[in-house]
Amino acid sequence: MSVVGGNGAAWPAPGKLNLMLRIVGQRPDGYHLLQTVFQFIDLCDWLSFDVNDHGAVALANPLPGVPAEEDLTVRAARLLQAETGCGKGVTISVDKRLPMGGGLGGGSSDAATTLVALNHLWGLGLDAGRLQALGLGLGADVPVFVNGVAAWAEGVGEVLTPMNLPEPWFVVMAPDCHVATGKVFSAPNLTRNRVPIKIEDFPALWQGNDCLEIVSQMYPPVKAALDELGAFSEGAKLTGTGACVFAAFGSESVAEEAARALRGRWRLWVTKGLNRSPLLARLSERQGLEV
Ligand SMILES: C[C@](O)(CO)[C@H](O)COP(=O)(O)OP(=O)(O)OC[C@H]1O[C@@H](n2ccc(N)nc2=O)[C@H](O)[C@@H]1O
Ligand SMILES: Nc1ncnc2c1ncn2[C@@H]1O[C@H](COP(=O)(O)OP(=O)(O)OP(=O)(O)O)[C@@H](O)[C@H]1O
């Protein structure tokens, strides 16, 4: 059976950029305590959900190299079933636009969109706080995607304070390498003990990324991307642990100009920074349609 929205228009799962990332400690379980600023971009994966009554959760088009059982959308759907006892199932299809392992948080965003969409389509009635707590079990970046508002984040990324940031145009470049997040966080010479700063200290006091030096050393294509993009803007930055690098521009046309010079040699996108995730608009639209 298909419900309203089941086979209809797709749900967005936007990427994110870490506009800065500071490592201020480490938990006993090894996870690092961060301070970071998340902003969404209008480059999105697009997910469709075909709901069924028999409880099966399946993927219409599994991602190459990711077993279905490990796919974060499948895990998110199963988690919702386990939490609520819901007997409905779903076939999920993902139109993948975000580069995988690029630091844009695509897997986490897909998981968040699945939680939000199925909460609605399965009629579960969980509130946003509950969905964020569930999402945290799937990945540190999931809560901010569920919340859908640009944020200052602490803890491992789950303690969120909304931020109203400028929304520039970005050039985002994906160097041809896959950065393993765990490998970066386990590097012996990673800076792990920065003094915490305050939300109002961004961006004046600090807008760096503590992973940048290690990642540049370990992955020469990331260093090359930072250097090339840096020639077109005041500062090219790394998002998360990479591999993607980005720079902000005052207008779409200036961003396009830089992109034109780099396109061909680099996989890149011109995309707008967003303080509000398009997922929230999609949800309101669906809710509006069904009252
Ligand atoms: C760096 C960020 O992109 C910032 O937004 C995220 O915190 C990364 O989140 P993520 O990709 O969801 O990372 P996970 O898949 O949860 O973690 C991969 C591995 O990186 C290490 N890890 C990750 C996040 C964190 N705050 N501390 C860590 O030490 C852990 O060894 C973990 O096993
Ligand atoms: N739906 C999914 N989309 C992408 N990756 C997934 C998905 N489900 C599971 N994965 C696994 O998660 C890994 C990391 O994917 P992702 O694209 O989220 O990395 P990322 O952008 O570097 O994330 P982050 O910025 O949170 O570190 C992939 O290499 C893949 O093995």
| Segments of the chain assigned to CATH 3.30.70.890 | 169-274
Q: Does 141 participate in catalysis according to the annotation?
A: yes
Q: In this predicted structure, what is the pLDDT of residue 199?
A: 97
Q: At 155, phi and psi to the nearest 5? A: 70, -135
Give the CATH number of domain 169-274.
3.30.70.890
**Closest protein CA for atom 31 of ligand 2:** 66
The DSSP call for residue 117 is H
Which residues lie below 8 Å from residue 124, measured CB to CB, with a gap of 6+? 80, 84, 86, 118
The active-site residue out of 45, 50, 110, 141 is 141
Q: In this predicted structure, what is the pLDDT of residue 289?
A: 75
- With the most atoms of ligand 1 within 8 angstroms of its CB, the residue from 181, 212, 237 to mutate is 181
Q: In this predicted structure, what is the pLDDT of residue 291?
A: 56
Q: In this predicted structure, what is the pLDDT of residue 49?
A: 97
Q: In this predicted structure, what is the pLDDT of residue 192?
A: 95
Was 251 annotated as part of a binding site? no
Q: What is the pTM of this model?
A: 0.95
| Segments of the chain assigned to CATH 3.30.230.10 | 11-163
Q: In this predicted structure, what is the pLDDT of residue 120?
A: 97
The DSSP call for residue 182 is H
Distance from Cα 4 to the centre of ligand 1, integer Å: 36
**Closest protein CA for atom 3 of ligand 2:** 107
Was 30 annotated as part of a binding site? no
- Range 11-163 classified under CATH 3.30.230.10: yes
Q: Name every protein residue with a CB atom under 6 angstroms from any ligand 1 atom.
A: 18, 30-32, 34, 36, 103, 108, 139-141, 156-157, 181-182, 185, 240-241
Bridge-based pairing of strands 89-95 and 57-59 is parallel
Was 101 annotated as part of a binding site? yes
| Ligand 2 atom nearest to 108, measured from its CA | 18
Was 100 annotated as part of a binding site? yes
Residue pointed to by tokens 């046309």: 253
Buried b (16+ CB within 10 A) or exposed e, 208-230: ebbbbbbbbebbebbbbbbebbe
| Ligand 2 atom nearest to 75, measured from its CA | 8
User: How distant is the alpha carbon of residue 41 from its chain centre?
Assistant: 9
Q: In this predicted structure, what is the pLDDT of residue 42?
A: 97
For the chain (length 291 residues), average pLDDT per consecutive 10? 48 98 95 97 98 98 96 98 98 96 96 98 97 96 98 96 98 95 95 96 96 97 97 93 96 97 96 98 89 56
HSE at residue 171, side-chain half, CA atoms within 13 A, is: 31
Q: In this predicted structure, what is the pLDDT of residue 34?
A: 97
Q: In this predicted structure, what is the pLDDT of residue 8?
A: 53
Q: In this predicted structure, what is the pLDDT of residue 226?
A: 97
Q: In this predicted structure, what is the pLDDT of residue 5?
A: 38
